[in-house]
Amino acid sequence: MVPFVRIPGSTPDLVNHALNAGAGGVVMPHIQNAEQASRLAELARFPPRGNRSFPPAALIGEKQFQTPDGMTVFDVWNDHVAIFCQIEDVEGVKNIEEICNVPGIDGILVGTGDLRMSLGLPSGSLDGDEEIFVDALERIRNVTSARGTPVMGFSSNARLIERRLKIGWQALIVHADFSSIYSSAVATISTCEDIAARVQHSADGTASAEINGHNCVSNGIH
C-alpha cells in the first residue's frame, strides 16, 4: 500500500514535508490550470526536474544511498513519486487537457462534491445525473483516457463504485480516516451504554441506567 497525502492548497511547502516523511505521492486540491499543475510537479521533484529541497533528515544511514547502478538517491525519488492534481472546479474541467499535458503530473483526482457546487448544483452530494455534471465527468474521461492519465476519486458506496468504474476511473477512495474514527466512536459509546445498563440492572434487579455523561459514566438511574 502506497500512502498518499492531500496537501492543503494554501500550503505548498507541505509537499516537501509530506514526501520527506515517507509519502509515496501527494494530491493538491483545486488545481485549475497548467501553471498550478507545473508548480506542483516542480515542488515534488529534485533538480534538474524540479525544485524540491534537500532533505537531510531523510538521508540518515547508509541504506538510504543503496541505489541501482548509475542512479542517485535523488533519481530514485524523482522516479517513484506520484503527483495527482485534484480537479474540482469549472476552470479545472475546462483546462483539463493542458493540466494533463504538464510533465510530471501522474494522475487526476476528481473532487465531485466541490465540482458540483462549482457548477451551481445542490451541495451535499458526491453524485448526480444533471446534464452539466455528467458532461463534466465525460470531458475528464475523454481527455484522460486519450492520454493514458489515471483517474481516481471518492466512491463511498456500492452504487458509486459501479458508476465510477463504468466511466473509467482506475482508483477509488472507498473509505476515509474520519469515517473510521466516527464509526469506531459510535460503536464504543454504544457498547459502553449497554454494559453500564446491564450493570445497573443487575445491581438492583429492576433499575435501568440512563447514560448521559462522558466516558460511559452513568449519572441518571431510573
The string of pLDDT tens digits covering residues 47-74 is 999 999 888 776 666 556 677 788 888 8
pLDDT tens-place string over residues 134-178: 999 999 999 999 999 999 998 888 999 999 999 999 988 887 778
Q: What is the pLDDT of residue 205?
A: 64
Least confident span in 29-33, 80-84, 181-185:
181-185
- Output the DSSP codes for 38-76: HHHHHHTS-TTS--PPP-GGGG-SGGGG---TT--HHHH
Give, for 134, the enclosing helix (H) or strand (E).
helix 131-147
Q: Domain 4-174: which topology?
A: TIM Barrel (3.20.20)
Q: Higher pLDDT residue, 63 or 194?
A: 194
Q: What is the pLDDT of residue 204?
A: 66
Please report, for the chain, the start and end positions of each structural domain, with discontinuous segments joined by +. Answer: 4-174, 179-221
Q: What is the pLDDT of residue 203?
A: 78
pTM of the model: 0.78
Rounded mean pLDDT, 204-210: 55
Give, for 193, the enclosing helix (H) or strand (E).
helix 177-204
* DSSP tag of 12: T
**pLDDT band, residue 215 (cuts 50/70/90):** low
In sequence order, the 6+-apart residues with CB closer than 8 A to the CB of 176 are: none
Q: Higher pLDDT residue, 158 or 92?
A: 92
